[in-house]
Structure 1
Amino acid sequence: MVGVEVVNVNDRLNVKDGLNETYDVVVAGGGAAGLNAALMLARARRSVVVIDAGAPRNAPASGVHGLLARDGMPPGELLERGRSEVRHYGGHLISAEIGQVGRDDGGFTVTLGDGRSTRGRRLLVATGLVDELPDVAGVRERWGRDVLHCPYCHGWEVRDQAIGVLAGGPMSVHQALLFRQLSDDVTFFTHTTMLTAEDAEKLAARDIAVVTEEVASLEIADDQLAGVQLVDGTVVKRTAVVVAPRMVVRADFLAPLGLRPVEHPSGAGTHIPAEAAGRTDVPGVWVAGNVTDPVAQVGSAAAAGAAAAAQINADLVTEETRQAVDARRAQPSN
């Protein structure tokens, strides 16, 4: 084969997780999307590095739910298993933040926060997002425990309990209706917002109580959520509270490439737009997981990483085949 280097993946199995000068693919972000992409790429015999800052969004949660054969597994354990699998196939894992990314001849230069750098022929961004929580005392302290946002991730665990939904975004009424499927005792706190007549009718039709007084804080007793305290001092007893955080992607380092977050159509926050398989408008750059789909759960984020990896590998194969054809044509005729 002319112009194509064949590397035996077994030669890389025992390589320590140091940073090489160049890779086929640099993966930014080591959550479900980034790790599953790296796994697919390494199995395709691609050199790949995952650069991860070590701040997973779901760290406060006790378990990952709705993921077939892994339901209830602690998030940290799931990620460690994923990292082990990536290493098994020769992938590298680097614990660091990305400082900046720039385009170079035929790829991208990635500079880490500690000054080290590497380059990749392709770049996959799976850095996820940050949840901006409502500014209500107690929300951040209880986040991921009895302050929740996703009925599919944590709804079963609070079924039949007294659930409060704290308004704060365009998804709040929708959340209340979804959690009503899990409990007959749901109270909607308008807080600092106003209900439309249509939304008020929907809540009333589903027997969801509405409290219009502004919320002051969450009441905690014996390290458990006890209720929602209003500004007038009244406490509405609740054992779980649902909020709608604004979801802001971690992607500022992409600005030099011309990729900037924009508002997601749902109004839930920001995202990096991309085609279905993750290809962005910038040639050579793909995205996967929450950085492009804010509502993606662990399973769908992992699947998106796999889909993007397959597209990236196919793109590299196309490039390598073109180079091989050009090299063959350039050979002198016998």
Structure 2
Amino acid sequence: MVGQAETMRDVVVVGGGAAGLSAALILARSRRRVTVVDAGTPRNAPAEGVHGLLALDGLSPLELLARGRDEVTRYGGEIIAAEVSAVSRTAAGFAVMTRDGAVLHARRLLVATGLVDELPDIAGLRQRWGRDVLHCPYCHGWEVRDRAIGVLATGAMSVHQALLFRQLSDDVRYFSHDQDLSGPDRSKLDALGIPVISGRVAGLAVVGDRLTGVRLDDDEVVAVETVTVATRMVARAEVFAGIGITATRHPMGSFIAADQTGRTSVPGVWVAGNATDLAAQVGAAAADGARAAAHLNADLVTEDTDRAVARLTNAETVR
């Protein structure tokens, strides 16, 4: 009897977030043997709710994933809680190794590992990330509307971020930190009434469990209720190096390059969600997973059909 480790899946999906589960749902409904391997570290876990997702606005990120897992398994898909340690190519497709020693074999591979937000090394940012330290005005902007918002300059997108949050509050302050501010950018901030606070940022000021301000190097505290920061967004690609998948550098971080269908340059490998689109919100990531799954399934259908034609041709030749 063939054991679970030797079972040939049609697709192994690495990553069980919105993109991975959406792809698995489409594949399972297409009667594909699909397994999702999920390490259980969703990017949006600290957030109280998913926003901007039609008909599900405000739903807990963990509840969204729980519902998604139930839907995938309802159609026969498999979910495995494990961390992938390495991926290699085999004669039949791919072998996916997990840290607990399991080996999963598949004809195709879908990468949906998302990304990691790298925050500046400033005291207090990571601890409050996803609560009152934010980055996306579309994900969390409404929830901080009309509050005192401090924009921490970390790179080329920081002025743009300040302009976006200014749409949500009249009280926005720009902390230049160690970033130079060009004349045109300064004019934009001045025109919208966004004061520029000079000096390096040392950390956050917190009273009890409430953010009260930004602390500068000279120990001055500038009162704000929310801090926004443009993170460096880095695709989780390291474990796929063995099959030739590497991250492409980008001014905002890194991503895994693919065509419009999600097909990468490595035969048999697709990618979906934030791993390939740094700006995708939950809804866009889910749609990306569904699109990649449809094209991936079509590729499998073509291969299955070609094999059937070859078998028929060989049988007729023998006769």
Structure 1 contact 32–79 (Cα < 8 Å) conserved: yes
Structure 1 contact 166–191 (Cα < 8 Å) conserved: yes
* 2:168 aligned residue (182, 197, 222): 182
How far apart, in 2, do the equivalents of 1:28 and 1:188 lie? Answer: 39
Letter in 2 for 1:82: G
Structure 2 contact 149–172 (Cα < 8 Å) conserved: yes
How far apart, in 2, do the equivalents of 1:133 and 1:19 lie? Answer: 38
Corresponding residue for residue 329 of structure 1: 313
How far apart, in 2, do the equivalents of 1:135 and 1:103 lie? Answer: 38
Instruction: Establish whether residue 306 from structure 1 lines up as the match of residue 290 from structure 2.
Output: yes
User: For 1:239-254, what aligned pairs fall within 5 Å after superposition?
Assistant: 239-254=225-240
Corresponding residue for residue 48 of structure 1: 34
Deviations 1:87-127 (A, max 9, x none): 10000001111111111113111111111101110000000
Corresponding residue for residue 152 of structure 2: 166
Instruction: Establish whether residue 35 from structure 1 lines up as the match of residue 21 from structure 2.
Output: yes
How far apart, in 1, do the equivalents of 2:31 and 2:38 lie? Answer: 21
Q: How many residues align?
A: 315
Corresponding residue for residue 11 of structure 1: none
RMSD: 1.1
* 2:281 aligned residue (297, 311, 314): 297
Which deviates the most, 180-189 or 198-207? 198-207
Corresponding residue for residue 257 of structure 2: 273
Corresponding residue for residue 66 of structure 1: 52
TM-score (norm 2): 0.97
Corresponding residue for residue 10 of structure 2: 24
Instruction: Establish whether residue 236 from structure 1 lines up as the match of residue 229 from structure 2.
Output: no
How far apart, in 2, do the equivalents of 1:107 and 1:170 lie? Answer: 41
Structure 1 contact 21–117 (Cα < 8 Å) conserved: no
TM-score (norm 1): 0.92
* 2:82 aligned residue (96, 111, 136): 96
Identity among equivalent positions (%) equals 61
Letter in 2 for 1:193: Q
Which deviates the most, 182-191 or 104-113? 104-113
Letter in 2 for 1:118: L
Question: How far 1:330 moved relative to its partner?
Answer: 1.1
Letter in 2 for 1:274: A
How far apart, in 2, do the equivalents of 1:189 and 1:197 lie? Answer: 16
* 2:271 aligned residue (255, 273, 287): 287
User: For 1:190-201, what aligned pairs fall within 5 Å after superposition?
Assistant: 190-201=176-187
Query: What SS does the aligned partner of 2:316 have?
Result: coil
Structure 1 unmatched runs, 5+: 1-17
Structure 1 contact 129–291 (Cα < 8 Å) conserved: yes
Structure 2 unmatched runs, 5+: none
* 1:109 aligned residue (86, 95, 103): 95
Question: How far 1:128 moved relative to its partner?
Answer: 0.6
* 2:304 aligned residue (309, 314, 320): 320
Letter in 1 for 2:122: V
Query: What SS does the aligned partner of 1:77 have?
Result: helix
Query: What SS does the aligned partner of 2:70 have?
Result: helix
Deviations 1:30-56 (A, max 9, x none): 000000000000000000000010000
How far apart, in 2, do the equivalents of 1:128 and 1:136 lie? Answer: 24
How far apart, in 1, do the equivalents of 2:130 and 2:185 lie? Answer: 27
Structure 2 contact 5–105 (Cα < 8 Å) conserved: no
Structure 1 contact 219–225 (Cα < 8 Å) conserved: yes
